[in-house]
A and B are shown apart, each in its own frame.
Chain A
Amino acid sequence: MDKASSKVMKSARQRARLLLRYLSPGLGVLILLSGPCPAKEYGTDGLRQAFSELGSLENYLDFPSTPEGLNACFKDSNPRCWNLYARLRKASMKLFEQGAEVALQRTLKAVSEECKAPAKDKADLFSPWQKCRGAVSSFYFFSSDPEDRQIIESLRKLDQSVLWNIFVESKGYSGDWTANRPNKQRWIQFLSSLTVLDKDTVGRRGYINVFSYPAKHHTGIMLLDPRLKLPQDQEERVKAFRE
């Protein structure tokens, strides 16, 4: 590099440094604004309703559990089945409206809030723990290793009484999320540390068994993952759906 070019590069670096120093407080604000801030949002924008919907997935007789089942319910124009699917798909779209990273933060926040105590909400038709269960079932959508670590780290910070509610009261051990964990051993280790579960007749061993013998996918939650594209005609009907 000749002297002239080196001088230009230096001054460019200086300019960049100056610009950064000038902008940095603003950049900080910008990063804060664009990053996840679920704590402020939770419970104010229909998200609780979305978790209530997702928590009802395993209660319905007609929810399609396979892509073939979904196609049949779409082609038959079976309103009972299709409307149910569209309603729950909209709930998962609500969860993901700001992207996957925010969706995970919202889910973890929901678990810590909704699993504190049973809800007295008439919208939770099937269980007072429906929103808690909906949030826990949503772990299914976050199955990468970093996401899974984040989930366990978040659960570790919760009181034992909340963990009891998650696993025992809300039956959070059910659902396809237990089958798609990237590292089952990590969960087995975590559950082994939850002495509170020994108050249940099956003890810690019972909950560890759920992860040791994961059932094949059966709930149909995979059909709700907004990142999986539906055929266009189905996607349009979901968007147009109003109950």
Chain B
Amino acid sequence: MTKPPKLKPSTFIVLIGGPGKFAPCDREHDETWTNYIVPIQVATKADQLDLSPGETLQWWVYAPAYRERWEDDTTVVKDPKLDKGRNLIDSRQKAINKVKSSGATDYLDRIRNMAATMKASFKALESPDDFWKELNALPENSVSRLWYIGHASSDGLMLKLIHDGSCRPAANTSDMILVEDIAKNAGTVSKKMKTKGKPSKFYGCFTEKFAEQWNTVFGTAAEGAIAKIDFGVTDRPSKIPQLLPRLEQSKPDTGWTRLPAK
């Protein structure tokens, strides 16, 4: 009897960026804390990840963002002086209650439990450097693909959002994975990447440049958004039934770049 071919294990990483604290002056971003969790949950449940045999899923979550959001939400809902409507007190209280009733202690704990339900392993990242350290710790030729879900700009992935004094959304440098970080870390990380495989995808605004550089440096297929993505389409009725293509076309001018492996 011939033995079945041995499956080569590989790792599919989903890097999950965080929301910022809710800013009443900016109704475009992060009204709910789950914006970047729900897409991967829905895609996993609907079998849209297209896992290869031997491929395992890992959720790498930017922990500081979720800790700060929990701290802020739980503090703000107790403040009787705040305008309830403007500060979305009811919906934030509802979110807190939902987390607590699930048995989780906070948002991060809730995500850990969600990952387990999705049969994904969970890793909390404390800094952008952790992302590269964790990649480096993986065996050679083991990373089949990387997906990112979160805030971004053409300069890189923004793992946590803040606002300046004029309510303009931004990120601290210490919370960013910059486009140039890809080349900077190429020396060690490129050995970890499988060159043939399904594309790495970057679900964030203006991630095209990040995807291009990922493709140039690692030679793997990569995809990203040309302009803005609206994560709000997750909850809205749509003619596009599958969530990921819906995100890729979430605004009339979003545009989606697909770069084949080199």
Contacts and interface: CB of A to CB of B under 8 A. Distances in A.
A141 interface: no
A114 interface: no
Contact of A218 (B154, B167, B186): B154
A61 B184 contact: no
Nearest to A130: B173
A127 to B, nearest CB: 4
Interface of B: 133, 151, 153-156, 158, 161, 164-174, 176, 178-188, 205-206, 209, 212-213, 216-217
B135 to A, nearest CB: 12
B212 A216 contact: yes
A59 B173 contact: yes
B176 to A, nearest CB: 8
A49 B144 CA distance: 45
A61 B186 contact: no
A137 to B, nearest CB: 11
A75 to B, nearest CB: 13
Interface string A136-179: 00000000000000000000000000000000000101110010
A202 B185 CA distance: 6
Contacts of B186: 206, 209, 213
A127 B173 CA distance: 6
Given A65-B206, A171-B178, A215 B170 contact: no
A59 B217 contact: no
Contacts of A220: 154
Contacts of A59: 170-173, 176
Given A58-B155, A218-B209, A173 B184 contact: yes
Nearest to B186: A209
Given A129-B173, A174-B180, A213-B216, A219 B154 contact: yes
30 contacts: A57-B155, A59-B170, A59-B172, A59-B173, A60-B169, A61-B151, A61-B168, A61-B169, A62-B168, A62-B169, A80-B166, A80-B167, A125-B170, A133-B173, A174-B155, A174-B180, A202-B184, A202-B188, A203-B187, A205-B187, A209-B186, A210-B183, A210-B184, A213-B217, A215-B182, A215-B213, A216-B209, A216-B213, A218-B209, A219-B155
Name the prevailing secondary structure of the A interface residues: loop
Contacts of A209: 183-184, 186-187
Contacts, number: 112
Contacts of B171: 59, 61, 126
B259 to A, nearest CB: 12
Count chain B CB atoms within 10 A of each CB in A60, A61, A62, A126 and give the residue with the most.
A61
A222 interface: no
A58 B183 contact: no
A83 interface: yes
A45 interface: no
Contacts of B205: 61
A203 B187 CA distance: 10
Given A58-B155, A171-B173, A178 B166 contact: no
B184 A207 contact: yes
For the complex of A and B, 8 pairs with smallest distance between CB atoms: A213-B183, A58-B155, A218-B209, A127-B173, A65-B154, A61-B169, A174-B180, A218-B154
A60 B168 contact: yes
Contacts of B183: 206, 209-210, 212-215
Count chain A CB atoms within 10 A of each CB in B154, B165, B181, B182 and give the residue with the most.
B154
Nearest to A243: B166
A69 to B, nearest CB: 8
A238 interface: no
A201 B133 CA distance: 9
